[in-house]
Chain A
């Protein structure tokens, strides 16, 4: 944190809320177009059924679930940075927590769309909600899909509230500097915050409690998503290691996505004072740890498949290494495990281009990992007569593309209309203005 005064903090951060330049408008329009393409494909799919999405017996969980796990996973890193690091009082959190938390909300929102897309008949999603209904049906509370409903909706609500509570003082700052209609809108959302001592006191306690409550969600939500697979007795799904494996993979891919978002943001908005190279380096170091644990999990799966002596487990691993999805496996190993090893060198860690490249590689690798984990075991399970072959279809690819466009679209809108660095927390990090210091100078 190298800004000097509160006024400077305000001005630097609020500078980004100014009039959008042409390149911003063009980028946002292109991303909106991408989103519309994805939405159009979804509409096409609703009209024509899941068959055009490549669903074929027995492969019924494909790219939409890959995307679901992928997007939820990315969201976890945001909560890790904003909630877990807050509890650890880590200094490097301040510049990045607002953007990270916003990233989480958008990721979880997009992730929540995918089960709907995957349903085919998306309009019947309300069958998953436990309420007394005319059909006199209740949901099966021991199903992992229901755990998902509870976990994802809790995660979305908690992330949204945590982000919003953090935003309230900053919205008050904007309200006090805006005029006209923007003033009314920001005023509405800042809820009449004035920043008196009572409000700050309760705010501090509430924020700490919210951080403490959001922290276990980092573990639990992605574990619940992993149990969607691990509780199924198909070799390749039924592994006890899935829960920590997925959580760690989530943090790994999430850190990569935070780097992908922040490195350009920092450059374009000239936020080097708030998001220092040390912050980026700390994230890179965390990525080494998560990458190594993923390597451990890959190794353990291979070993245990052999050790189990179970014919089907061994075959599953052989199919993974030599079968139709082997390219995605090898690519995932290279992108997830080998690429982050370069981060052991300080020169790589402090070079933003290298960091960006490694982050992109990890993102691709993690998507591919979800791909071969979700598809492989069900495509070829116990009985060879039941095996099926699946190839990605244009509809799915375009919807995936649409989801990425939608994510960056939402994030750019956030960066333009809301402060992407937390103003109140940046001010807390500075030394308060003291007459004593003035005299000393």
Chain B
């Protein structure tokens, strides 16, 4: 009853490898054909988007452990599936080193008062160390979660009867695997905040070295968490049939996920507004030029309004409706739109620093490299889910969830036959 043996078909692996190849080809062609500035910036935008998505969704697994939330337990493995993708953030960061002159304006025109912070070696060392720590802790968390599962067999209905189950849950809570997860989850959360702030400040805010905003780091890591949630919604919907989770993932799971998505949509909009109103109101030229470039100059002005609508106004409105939240397909469609919106948001943060021409630089380099990153991400998820058990059977909260669902089933049957 509590097992799931289906998985992604092998044809997907081929498709994802193809996407990676397309991305690599587009990237190399762009570099060699001389379109270096645009290609490197496309690479940067995609790097920022896809890795922050992956770190965000893995953080969500840690958050679920910390809040001892059992409603989302069946999909725990889905949040960990992005694990193999995370260590790739390091070599791909070092790849940026090759294109550093194109990306970082302060190499050619150094800002002397900031040169302690904004110099290549320090930037790469601190971000590498941060990403090593962050991906290391994430992998350790995922390892303790998966290791526990490969040693235990799934519980049967007899196990779920009252007396024995509390013992079993207690035993699982005392197991070293669970205790490791309880220890690593808050550590991951703290590292996530610090490292992603650093990445946001170094790779996005420094692109315009004379601009600064104290909220930028927090804004970046909050958005990353939000897009991680949107990705989780999509992956949960996909896994219902592909991974056979339909029996365990009840409709109220999507309702709750939709509510969390709504909450984080409001939070992200709030963080954006907090920066915007302070800068708008103060009207200080050293702060406002960044916003004016993105909200008043064409071609960015229209893109900015589009982003506002699809990342904030549209989800806030549409996620009010119960019917949308309960339907996995509709929720995934909304999530896809949110993800596109945030890709564009990363784009509008980065692009005006290099593109001074007409029209928006969204074309083959951007989309091709995005396809490549998506292929890598999807390949890591697919391979992970093919290799490891889908259900977190050693997780004590998963047992609590199963017990709760079992009790609910009994209650419903009793009501049918016992009450009336």
Contacts and interface: CB of A to CB of B under 8 A. Distances in A.
A52 interface: no
B277 interface: yes
Contacts of A220: 270
B194 A296 contact: yes
B193 A296 contact: yes
Chain B CB count within 10 A is highest, among A87, A289, A307, for A307
Interface in B189-243: 189-190, 193-194, 197, 210, 212-218
Interface residues of A, number: 31
A172 B212 CA distance: 57
B215 A231 contact: no
B278 A231 contact: yes
Contacts of B358: none
Given A231-B277, A240-B279, A436-B418, A304 B270 contact: no
Nearest to B262: A212
If over half of A's interface residues share one DSSP class (helix, strand or loop), that class is named, otherwise mixed; here it is helix
A231 B279 CA distance: 8
A3 interface: no
5 contacts: A233-B282, A241-B214, A242-B278, A244-B218, A285-B66
B113 A233 contact: no
A223 B274 CA distance: 8
A258 interface: no
B324 interface: no
B278 A230 contact: yes
Contacts of B215: 239-241, 243-244
If over half of B's interface residues share one DSSP class (helix, strand or loop), that class is named, otherwise mixed; here it is helix
B277 A227 contact: yes
Nearest to A302: B214
A301 interface: yes
Contacts of B418: 436
Interface of A: 87, 216, 219-220, 223, 227, 230-231, 233, 238-244, 285, 288-289, 292-293, 296-297, 300-301, 304, 307-310, 436
A438 to B, nearest CB: 13
A127 to B, nearest CB: 22
Chain A CB count within 10 A is highest, among B113, B283, B414, B418, for B113
Contacts of A288: 186
B7 to A, nearest CB: 33
Contact of A307 (B114, B197, B284, B286): B114
B401 interface: no
Contacts of A240: 213-216, 274-275, 278-279
Contacts of B186: 288
B414 A436 contact: yes
A216 B281 CA distance: 23
B39 to A, nearest CB: 29
A304 B277 contact: no
Given A231-B278, A244-B215, A244-B218, A216 B284 contact: no
A113 to B, nearest CB: 27
B22 interface: no
A307 B279 CA distance: 17
Contacts of B282: 231, 233, 238
Contact of B212 (A243, A308, A436): A308
B117 A239 contact: no
A308 B418 CA distance: 70
B274 A300 contact: no
A307 B117 contact: yes
